[in-house]
């Protein structure tokens, strides 16, 4: 089971770094992610000699409030993946209907690949982590298969899937 651990630091004026738990509070626990078409669709494209769209990269926030993993919906349209269904999510703003898409997530560090039968297409426009576009939320559907530790005192977190 691959394990990823990160501790977030605050950059100081003199170029050094200092442990500051507030950085984890501000940015949240995250991983770099590549989102691509699901493996079954990639295999079909290969068989039919259809060019496979390049994966799209960005940041994924570990979101214990999300029962199902999510992806920025416009990215799935950019990858030319059609929605397979819809689902109603319950947010602080009320119930919202979203499209569901099959997708594949690759986390280069810690080298985890997950092929999803469906993820929720949401609008993550304008959301950034450490200056990079937020493109996915890692929900409890993934966390149910591993271990997640959020250590607020040290500004660190670990995930093992």
Q: Is the pLDDT of residue 67 over 90?
A: yes
Burial class (CB in 10 A: 0-12, 13-18, 19+), 158: middle
Region 48-72 average pLDDT: 97
Average pLDDT value for residue range 24-36: 97
Mean pLDDT, residues 48-77 taken together: 96
pLDDT band at 81 (very low <50, low <70, confident <90, very high): very high
Q: Measured between alpha carbons, how far is 131 from 27 in angstroms, rounded to an integer?
A: 10
For 31-50, write each residue's pLDDT tens digit: 999 999 999 999 999 999 99
Q: Centre a 10 Å sphere on the Cβ of residue 153 and count the other Cβ atoms it contains.
A: 8
- The pLDDT value given to residue 1: 82
- What domains are there in the chain, each with its CATH number? 28-143 (2.40.70.10)
The reported pLDDT for the residue numbered 92 is: 82
- Contact predicate 136/74, CB 8 Å: no
State pLDDT tens for residues 97-129.
999 999 999 999 989 999 999 999 999 999 999
pLDDT value, residue 49? 96
pLDDT value of position 93: 84
DSSP 23: H
Q: What tens digit of pLDDT does each residue of 128-160 get?
A: 999 999 999 999 999 999 999 999 999 999 999
Q: What is the pLDDT of residue 2?
A: 85
Asked if pLDDT for residue 91 goes beyond 90, the answer is no
Model's pTM, two decimal places? 0.93
């Amino acid at each position: 089971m691959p394990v990823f651990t990160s501790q977030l630091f605050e950059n100081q004026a003199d170029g050094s770094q200092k442990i500051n738990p507030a950085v984890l509070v501000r940015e949240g626990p995250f991983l770099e992610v590549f989102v691509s078409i699901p493996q079954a669709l990639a295999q079909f494209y290969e068989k039919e000699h259809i060019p496979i769209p390049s994966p799209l990269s960005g940041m994924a926030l570990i979101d214990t409030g999300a029962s199902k993993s999510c992806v920025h919906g416009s990215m799935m349209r950019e990858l030319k993946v059609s929605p397979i269904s819809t689902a109603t999510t319950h947010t602080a703003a009320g119930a919202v209907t979203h499209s569901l898409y099959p997708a594949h997530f690759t986390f280069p560090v810690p080298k985890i690949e997950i092929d999803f039968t469906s993820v929720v297409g949401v609008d993550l426009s304008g959301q950034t982590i450490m200056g990079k576009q937020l493109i996915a939320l890692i929900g409890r559907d993934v966390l149910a298969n591993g271990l997640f530790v959020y250590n607020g005192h040290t500004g660190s977190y670990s995930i093992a899937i």
